[in-house]
Structure 1
């Protein structure tokens, strides 16, 4: 469907675009100040927009409550080159945004987060493309100041097509506050890992710890049995690390009976016991 250049929708409330090929500065987007939901899906390379342009457009949508940005491609190093040419100068506040979804390269999200304030954000979904490495330093800073993204429980689950981190505000909660998936065939941290790939490389301990470091308030950690070996290695502190440096408020670690029978988590449990902050292993 081709919209005329003069098309306007000043009273539009919900807009979902899929595989669209219109510029981010289109009047369709610049004249929708009352919009509540904006979802940009399967964004093709031909419709790529730099972070400055995106921030400028959504700043004109003060009523926005749901924002989805889902790219359909990833070219390593592309966003970095764009930012070298045009550094982000804009900082905006979306006073009513409650749900943010993002799919793309970690560099794209890392470029956006320092320049946007989301005081009412309640739900964050993140899906990173295949990358050799992931940078999430700004995501960590963003989460540390997001008052409504509170979480006491996280789960690390292995699915047929992915490994996913889910964070919940309390036990029994049906709605998560945070979902993170990272895709990688060859790379360190693998949340969406293709089982059939013959080139799989084990997750890197440093990046596991960096990701787990996002969850400073977590009290209960659920671990899928197939992730026990990797997570137990990541949780065990080295001689230079404090036992409470990672997940300092953790009280319970839940994993299957067979997974815990090989005592994989004993070094971590012992280190926390000696530090005076014990963690109990429970078997669901």
Structure 2
């Protein structure tokens, strides 16, 4: 595939849609193959992929798209083995470094979406969208793994929104505050955190846990937390601990039951 793409220097838009059962040749046989040169797609702006993460990992390890501004990836599988090549691909794509906001939606098809403060760039919406087709009952731990592998684009983000609805079984079963802290850990530059109504009772205890170890390097630049709620959610210990910890940023809490997710990010 990469060799074929290298013969299309004027290609601006690429869509690849695979059937769920397509798999790559055995990894050992591919390792014995001679190394391939990375194909450069100098005009590619938009890339849409539907398939399994293994195929995408192999493809993005062999291509560069320096002008790419919009990336939409939909996976059939859950990439438990990791997505290191995708992470490297992001780091090689300069425009993707301009993203400043993230939106994480926990539902039957979990997705994470990134965009910059501005809306448009050379005719395409400047964004990354990753989603997974399979339902998982361990969505939080799964997204912790994914976000920690996406650190090349997370460390510059300034705003982070997380959403779920109360019907999700994994929420009804309860969550571990330590996992929420694991989710937040790669977002080292985030200044504003938006939390949906049904996640507030789960995220608040995690923030309170930070008060027991103020030196913990989780959300060190945080300045504002906004809960989708008309009632105050208690995170007083967290606020007090941050004020005393010397992080240097005053922390404000806001409660608003009316904010719209795709507007706040």
* TM-score with structure 2 setting the length: 0.66
Structure with more contact order per residue of length (Cα contacts < 8 Å, sep ≥ 6):
2
| 1:33-65 CA distance string (max 9 Å, x none) | xxxxxxxxxxxxxxxxxxxxx122111111100
C-alpha contact (below 8 Å) 1:151/1:168 kept by paired residues: yes
> Of the candidates 88, 103, 106, which is equivalent to residue 158 of structure 1?
106
Q: Distance in 2 between matches of 1:280 and 1:100?
A: 34
Q: How many aligned positions are there?
A: 212
Matches within 5 A, 1:153-192: 153-159=101-107, 161-170=108-117, 175-184=125-134
| 1:130-179 CA distance string (max 9 Å, x none) | 246242111112212311112111111134x4111111111777935100
Q: Distance in 1 between matches of 2:175 and 2:94?
A: 30
Q: Report the equivalent of 2:50.
A: 103
Distance apart, 1:253 and its partner CA? 1.0
Please say which of residues 173-182 and 223-232 is displaced more in the overlay.
223-232
Which consecutive unaligned segments of at least 5 residues does structure 2 have? 228-258, 260-265
> Of the candidates 181, 195, 200, which is equivalent to residue 255 of structure 1?
195
Matches within 5 A, 1:186-201: 193=135, 200-201=137-138
Counterpart check, 1:93 vs 2:44: no
Q: 1:57 and 1:106, CA in 2 relative to 1: closer, same or farther beyond 3 A? A: same
> Of the candidates 142, 145, 170, which is equivalent to residue 207 of structure 1?
145
Q: Distance in 2 between matches of 1:77 and 1:271?
A: 47
Q: Report the equivalent of 1:19.
A: none
Two-structure CA RMSD over aligned residues (Å): 3.4
Give 1 or 2 for the bigger CA radius of gyration.
1
Q: 1:89 and 1:258, CA in 2 relative to 1: closer, same or farther beyond 3 A? A: closer
> Which structure dedicates a bigger proportion of its chain to helix?
2
Distance apart, 1:83 and its partner CA? 2.0
Q: 1:273 and 1:123, CA in 2 relative to 1: closer, same or farther beyond 3 A? A: farther
Distance apart, 1:85 and its partner CA? 5.3
Which consecutive unaligned segments of at least 5 residues does structure 1 have? 1-53, 185-192, 195-199
Q: 1:68 and 1:129, CA in 2 relative to 1: closer, same or farther beyond 3 A? A: same
Q: Distance in 2 between matches of 1:170 and 1:71?
A: 32
